[in-house]
Amino acid sequence: MAAVRYRSGDMIVLKSRTLGGAQSQGQGHVVALMPETQGAVRYRVRLQGENFDRSISEDDIDTQASATREPDTKSVAPRQSGSSWIDLSSIRTKK
């Protein structure tokens, strides 16, 4: 499984095509992560000035010009071993 570099909401810049092609060039934002196909991570991207989404491979994204967010590890508290993911003190029942 390939590593996912971008998340929903990240701004990306597409690489310029050397042979031309129908694909637009420019900036856009990641709408969603799509299923991996043949070992390549794919993203649903909406480019600026367009009102539809495109399926873009990670190979088409200019990684130098695109910004990635740092992983947000502070908001997730580590779970203690042997503890449940359910907080029993927060469950309320009717009498």
pLDDT digits (tens, 9 = 90+) for 28-67: 889 998 888 887 888 999 988 889 998 888 888 887 777 6
Domain assignment of residue 95, yes or no: no
CB 35 within 8 Å of CB 60: no
Residue 78 is predicted with a pLDDT of 59
Q: Which residues pair with 37 in a beta bridge?
A: 40
Q: Is residue 47 part of a domain?
A: yes
Domain membership of residue 93 (yes or no) is no
Range of the domain at 34: 1-67
Identify the residue with better confidence: 72 or 62: 62
Dihedral angle at the C-alpha atoms of 33, 38, 71, 32, nearest 10 degrees? Answer: -10
> What Å distances lie between residue 43 and 59, 73, 84, 85, 94, CA to CA?
11, 23, 34, 31, 45
Looking up residue 38, the CATH number of its domain turns out to be 2.30.30.140
Span 65-84, mean pLDDT?
58
Please count the structural domains in the chain: 1
Q: Is residue 19 assigned to a domain?
A: yes
Q: What is the pLDDT of residue 47?
A: 87
Q: Mean pLDDT over all residues of the chain?
A: 75
What is the mean pLDDT of the segment spanning 83-94? 76
Residue 54 lies in a domain: yes
Within-domain flag for 79: no
Q: Is the pTM of this model over 0.75?
A: no
